Amino acid sequence: MLKFEKGQLMGEITGTIDNDILKGTSLEDLILGLEGDDRIRSRGGNDTVDAGAGADVVLAGAGDDLVFGMQGDDLLKGGQGADVLKGGEGNDDVRGGQSDDYLSGGLGNDKLRGGTGADILDGGGGDDDMRGGTGDDFLFAGAGNDLLRGGQGNDYLAGDDGDDQLWGGQGVDDLSGGTGNDTLRGGAGNDRLFAGDGEDVLIGGQGNDLLEGGAGDDTLKGGKGDDLLYGFSWGGEPIPAQDANALVNADEPLSDTDVMIGGRGADRFEFRWLIDAKQEILDKHTDDTGNIDYSMNGVAGENDNVHDHWVETMGTKIVKDFRANQGDTLEFAGHTVNLDTVTHTDFDGNGRDDTILTFVSNQGGNGGAHDGDQVGRVVILNTLIDTVDVDAGVFYGVEEPYSILG
């Protein structure tokens, strides 16, 4: 036995190169499986288990245990305590227990299952299958094409590299896509779905959901309930940042074609334009809480120098099922953004006229090379909207909507 300064004892239990059956004690044990396909039960105490090489089975006990599967296809099960279970290399099966556990798959195609507590599931490398339990869980995909299912609680699911599938399940869930072409399904509850890079599909499901497109050509489907479908342009500090009377006269091309489908209920389709500028200029438009506030045309000190400052393009957003008579609304907001034209044409070729709203940057006198640039289009299928329905004035703030149609 090992004795520590406070008099606490730790028993050391070591296996062999064969297939061993190892059992812990009521103390804080160090259990080493070594090689072979071992079966290990830690029992009482806050134990540390290193299963070693082989296809091992480890059953955590009553304490807060630390379990390493290491090499091989292992089965790790949490117990009554708050356990840390790490699969390591191989295709592992990692299952949470009765408390708040941390589950990590590591390398390989792993299966992770949360228990009754508020668990954290980390897939790691490989194509993993992850499912939360009855608590409020956090699921992180890791690299690979992963399947994440939230379970019964209010869960947070995050994709990563690869084409991931995220299913919220029951509860009020947050789903965030990664860099691949992901599919996000909110399920029951008032969920929030955020697309990442790539061509993502967001499906709200039941409840009043928020769906936000990202970089790439996304499809947003609200489903049942009063949903908010949100499209925006990217903004931030460009590289290189420009100031001190230096101008970059590059027109930003239109990008991203998103499809937005509200579904049943009174849905709101919201579109916002962000700006690119040097961080110092962005800070002049940001309040103490970090929110952008363009409540007036210009900010003191903003125009002391000529600086690069333009609205990012939004691309084309296609609204497939806008129904004003059912409570649907369209909302637009952006810094120095102006509605340029409203045209009616058969955009999708189905024999019915659609409405195309084209927006431009309107920076006023001496506005620079980006004045008049097209910054986005919103196509409303099978619906006719006239210019009288839209406020055509320049909008300088994002705290109030540019225009609301509905």
The SS3 call for residue 49 is strand
The SS3 call for residue 146 is coil
Q: Residue 304: pLDDT above 70?
A: no
For residue 273, give Cα distances in angstroms to 54, 232, 241, 247: 55, 6, 19, 21
Q: Residue 281: pLDDT above 80?
A: no
DSSP 63-81: S--EEE--SS--EEE--SS
Rounded to whole angstroms, the Cα distance separating 123 from 140 reads 6
Rounded to whole angstroms, the Cα distance separating 177 from 154 reads 17
Rounded to whole angstroms, the Cα distance separating 289 from 287 reads 5
- pLDDT for the residue numbered 371: 61
The one-letter amino acid at 88: G
Q: What is the pLDDT of residues 195-227, one digit of tens each?
A: 998 899 999 999 999 999 888 889 999 998 999
The closest of 128, 116, 134 to 158, measured between CA atoms, is 128
**Do 73 and 94 form a contact (C-beta atoms < 8 A)?**
no
**Do 265 and 224 form a contact (C-beta atoms < 8 A)?**
yes
Q: What is the pLDDT of residues 48-97, one digit of tens each?
A: 999 999 999 999 999 999 999 999 999 999 999 999 999 999 999 999 99
Q: Share the mean pLDDT of the chain.
A: 82
The average pLDDT across 34-57 equals 97
- pLDDT for the residue numbered 272: 80
How many CB atoms sit inside 10 A of residue 344's CB? Answer: 13
Contacts of 264 (CB under 8 A, 6+ apart): 223, 224, 225
Query: Roughly how many angstroms between the first and final C-alpha of the chain, as a whole number?
Result: 75
For residue 9, give Cα distances in angstroms to 3, 32, 65, 336: 5, 17, 15, 69
Maximum average pLDDT range among 157-161, 370-374, 391-395, 397-401: 157-161
222 backbone dihedrals φ, ψ, rounded to 5° = -70, -45
The average pLDDT across 137-163 equals 96
294 backbone dihedrals φ, ψ, rounded to 5° = -110, 50
Rounded to whole angstroms, the Cα distance separating 87 from 103 reads 8
Which helix H or strand E contains 284, and what residues bound it? helix 279-284
Q: Residue 236: pLDDT above 50?
A: no
- pLDDT for the residue numbered 248: 30
The average pLDDT across 331-358 equals 88
258 backbone dihedrals φ, ψ, rounded to 5° = -105, 145
- pLDDT for the residue numbered 111: 98
**Residue keyed to tokens 């994440």:** 148
**Residue keyed to tokens 């290399």:** 89
Maximum average pLDDT range among 68-72, 271-275, 289-293, 386-390: 68-72
Give the max Cα distance, the chain: 85
Rounded to whole angstroms, the Cα distance separating 65 from 26 reads 12
Among 99-108, 264-273, 309-318, 385-394, the range scoring the smallest mean pLDDT is 385-394
**Do 59 and 78 form a contact (C-beta atoms < 8 A)?**
no
The one-letter amino acid at 217: D
Q: How confident is the model at residue 286 (pLDDT cuts 50, 70, 90)?
A: low
Q: Which two tokens stand for residue 284?
A: 């002049």
Specify burial of residue 354 (Cβ count, 10 A radius: 0-12, 13-18, 19+): buried
